[in-house]
Amino acid sequence: MSLRKTSFPPIVADDTRLLILGSLPGEKSLAAGEYYAHPQNRFWHLMERVITQPLVSLSYGDRINTLLRHKIGLWDAVQSAERQGSLDTAMRAIEATDLPSLVSRLPDLQAVAFNGRKSEAIGRPQLDEMPLETIALPSSSPAHTAMTFDQKAGEWDKLQQFLR
């Protein structure tokens, strides 16, 4: 069994204004072929608050379509890595995604938000020279237990400014 895991293609539209970057999908997400598929990951709950519309109760396809309607895209900072399990700390031989190439194709993009420290550590250096706001967010992962949901939500709510 290969330990090499590969990210999904970016989910964006021509009018994407906010791009949210994870690190690399976990085992449950990879198995389901869906971003943030682990039932304890709080991503969809946090985004539901940000856009003030239901997401959690929707099918995956409807969740994605709702984000795109709100001009929100998803991708990862890691294209592929060797990893046993789902933890970011277990990643080795990391190959980063080509963020500058994607960003250059999104003329309305205003900000990139990093879902967790690993995403930020890998993604931010690629975007330093680009005229974008970058936002570090606490991870939505169930492994990130240092903050309560409400504390995380207070930080994630900052994304609303890019949706007006």
Whose CA is closest to 76, among 25, 111, 126, 37? Answer: 25
Candidate list 7, 16, 29, 41, residue with the active-site label: 41
115 is catalytic: no
Cα three-residue angle 79-65-113, rounded to 5 degrees? 45
Do 102 and 75 contact (CB within 8 A), yes or no?
yes
57 vs 92, higher pLDDT: 57
User: Is the pTM higher than 0.85?
Assistant: yes
pLDDT of residue 149: 93
Query: pLDDT value at position 89?
Result: 72
Percentage of the chain lying above the pLDDT 70 cut: 97
For residues 74 and 119, give the distance between their C-alpha atoms in angstroms, rounded to a whole number.
12
Is 1 a residue whose pLDDT tops 60?
no
Q: Model confidence at 62, in pLDDT bands (50, 70, 90)?
A: very high
